[in-house]
Amino acid sequence: MNPNIQVLLLLLQLSFHGAQGATDPAEAAIEFKAMCRLTNLLETPVVKTLPDTNIEQDVLEILKLNMSAAPDDWRANFGDGSAKHNWASVKGKYDSEPYAKDWETNWPDWQKAAAGIAPTNSNKEWLEKHPRPASAQIAAAQLKALAAAAKQLQGTYVAQYKTELKDKEDLAEAKLKAALTGVHSDKGADFNAFATKNAAARRNGDCNGEKAGRGVLYDIACLCIGAARTETDGCIGGQLRQAWSATQGKLGEAMAELKKHCGQGFKPNLTPETLKAAVAAVENLIGRRGTTTVVGDKLGRSNDADCDGSDDKVCVRYDEYYSSTVTTPKQQKVPWMAEIEEAATALAAAEQAKTEAVATRASIASLKATAEAVYAAAQIKQETTASESEGAPQSKHTIDCTNIKTNTTCKEKGCKWEEKDGKGECKPKTETVTTAATTGEGAAGGPAAANTTASSSFVIKTSPLLLAFLLF
């Protein structure tokens, strides 16, 4: 149900009791129910989001494909990826280079990739599925770009998870706990410890001023547990077995009994919206029963300004945060309300970060699929080129031209006759073959060998089109 509708329904229910006097048990019961709903929400654990461990594996897979297609001289830097090939073993060669810092940062990942494609038993299956293309230059260039993009996205995910997701969820958890169990510093560490150890009877001052508003459980105790058993019937329509008395542990027992009445008819769903709605429901009840003598800054039963736990004075007074007069409004917010607002904001931010992290994870998965397609395409072209070159007959021009001895026959066959020093020779006509000799860096900064064969030229000119098809 929409949180705003929840608040409206609760307030509609309250309107039937608005004129029944300050000591009407129904009023206290409604206030107790609103506080119970809030308590149940605060006691609901924040569901923590775990990091996606598949991301690291996917990025490593892209790096392995990149390393597999890299030039031999670059791969030689990492050997089998063992510790003897770490950055410390080679840094002396590159310390003076402008890219040294970048390489130092990336070296552990490159080393892992090398270890992942080393000819070992553990890598046997991967190597069988991913034979290295004989002509891998274009694949290496494309895989290098994909690997760089994957590492960047991995860094983005780590930041999203740590700063925007985990930290926000942890903050929300801490704020909700503080809102639930908070007490004034002179009452101990938290409400549960205070209720267990308390050996002082409730008195005036315990439930007003700076003591009130520190935590929801403490305020519920003020609202419902009087100084004697005869003053404990306002919230549940019957007396509790214990009271806020001078006997150690009795307050804790009274609170445990009271909380059993909080689990009825409400299943909490912890969201920013339900938290805000629950706070609004309680806040709208504060001061509803105020009169000229019963100051409008309370929850609970009171026939005057006090909340000392005696007859008709079982209440919690928020006089530090609400005023009974319009001319002197208070500026402070009830502390537990402020804590809950911060928690709701943190949860909302975490939800947004989770959505963004899922999108980042999907982008990494897409990069992995593209990398696998690029690698597979390079293998297919390699096989096609090999099948065309292995056992392929010489062209007709080559056979005819080289065996022709006369100028006339040479030209008839479409060949070219060349004479030099009175001697003639029949040759095939020269056809321009464009070779895509590319230059640049290898898998991770190493030089890439130029590709000058006609068959490799076919791979280079065709692969970008195939990659575009795979990407779109």
Q: What token pair was written down for 184?
A: 């004034």
Q: Which of 215, 339, 321, 330 has the alpha carbon at shortest distance from 276?
A: 339
Q: What token pair was written down for 30?
A: 């409604």
Query: How much is the pLDDT for 292?
Result: 60
Query: How much is the pLDDT for 442?
Result: 42
Query: How much is the pLDDT for 1?
Result: 53
Is a pLDDT exceeding 50 seen at residue 352?
Answer: yes
Q: What pLDDT band is residue 470 in, cutting at 50, 70 and 90?
A: very low
pLDDT digits (tens, 9 = 90+) for 174-217: 999 999 999 999 998 999 999 999 999 999 999 999 999 999 99
Q: What pLDDT band is residue 379 in, cutting at 50, 70 and 90?
A: confident
Task: Please say whether the beta carbons of 324 and 290 come within 8 A.
Answer: yes
Query: How much is the pLDDT for 6?
Result: 52
3 state SS of 317: strand
pLDDT digits (tens, 9 = 90+) for 285-330: 988 766 665 667 889 888 788 899 998 899 999 989 987 666 666 7
- Residue 359, domain member (yes or no): yes
Distance CA 30, CA 33 (A): 5
- The rounded radius of gyration (Å) of the Cα atoms in the chain is 39
Query: How much is the pLDDT for 103?
Result: 94
Distance CA 194, CA 216 (A): 14
- Residue 68, domain member (yes or no): yes
3 state SS of 68: helix
- Residue 155, domain member (yes or no): yes
The pLDDT mean for the chain works out to 82
Distance CA 163, CA 350 (A): 9
Question: Which residues have C-beta within 8 Å of that of residue 247, sequence separation ≥ 6?
Answer: 199
Q: What pLDDT band is residue 109 in, cutting at 50, 70 and 90?
A: very high
How many separate domains does the chain show?
1
Task: Please say whether the beta carbons of 141 and 460 come within 8 A.
Answer: no
- Residue 262, domain member (yes or no): yes
Query: How much is the pLDDT for 371?
Result: 97
- Residue 454, domain member (yes or no): no
Q: What percent of the chain has pLDDT over 90?
A: 59
Query: How much is the pLDDT for 325?
Result: 65
Task: Please say whether the beta carbons of 221 and 227 come within 8 A.
Answer: no
Is a pLDDT exceeding 80 seen at residue 50?
Answer: yes
Distance CA 30, CA 27 (A): 5
- Residue 279, domain member (yes or no): yes
Distance CA 328, CA 203 (A): 27
Of 4 and 361, the structure prediction assigns the larger pLDDT to 361
Query: How much is the pLDDT for 447?
Result: 38
Between vectors from CA 441 to CA 80 and to CA 136, what angle results, nearest 5°? Answer: 65
Terminal CA-to-CA distance of the chain, rounded, Å?
Answer: 42
Q: What token pair was written down for 74?
A: 């670059």
Question: Which domain range does residue 330 map to?
Answer: 1-392
Of 249 and 233, the structure prediction assigns the larger pLDDT to 249
Exposed e or buried b for every residue in 216-229, given b needs 16+ CB within 10 A?
A: bbbbbbbbbbbbbb
Distance CA 370, CA 365 (A): 9
Query: How much is the pLDDT for 142?
Result: 94
Q: What pLDDT band is residue 240 in, cutting at 50, 70 and 90?
A: very high
Task: Please say whether the beta carbons of 263 and 256 come within 8 A.
Answer: no
Is a pLDDT exceeding 60 seen at residue 282?
Answer: yes
Query: How much is the pLDDT for 427?
Result: 82
Query: How much is the pLDDT for 424?
Result: 83
Task: Please say whether the beta carbons of 129 and 49 come within 8 A.
Answer: no
Q: Return the amino acid letter for 8.
A: L
- DSSP secondary structure code for residue 49 in this structure: P
Query: How much is the pLDDT for 451?
Result: 36
- Residue 154, domain member (yes or no): yes
Task: Please say whether the beta carbons of 448 and 106 come within 8 A.
Answer: no
Phi then psi dihedrals of residue 448, to 5 deg: -100, 135
Q: What percent of the chain has pLDDT over 70?
A: 77
Looking at beta carbons, which pairs linking 184-190 to residues 24 or more positions away fall under 8 Å? 184/210, 184/211, 184/214, 187/211, 187/214, 187/218, 190/215
- Residue 54, domain member (yes or no): yes
Q: Which of 39, 5, 14, 63 has the alpha carbon at shortest distance from 289?
A: 14
Lowest mean pLDDT among 174-178, 386-390, 427-431: 386-390
Query: How much is the pLDDT for 425?
Result: 84
CA distances from 457 to 138, 139, 380, 391, 450 (A): 10, 13, 14, 20, 11
Query: How much is the pLDDT for 293?
Result: 59
Is a pLDDT exceeding 80 seen at residue 121?
Answer: yes
* DSSP letters spanning 410-443: HHHTT-EEEEETTEEEEEPPP---------SB-T
Q: What pLDDT band is residue 384 in, cutting at 50, 70 and 90?
A: low
- DSSP secondary structure code for residue 84 in this structure: G
Lowest mean pLDDT among 68-82, 134-148, 351-365: 134-148
Is a pLDDT exceeding 90 seen at residue 400?
Answer: no
Burial class from Cβ neighbours inside 10 Å (0-12, 13-18, 19+) for residue 437 reads middle
Is a pLDDT exceeding 70 seen at residue 274?
Answer: yes
Query: How much is the pLDDT for 4?
Result: 55
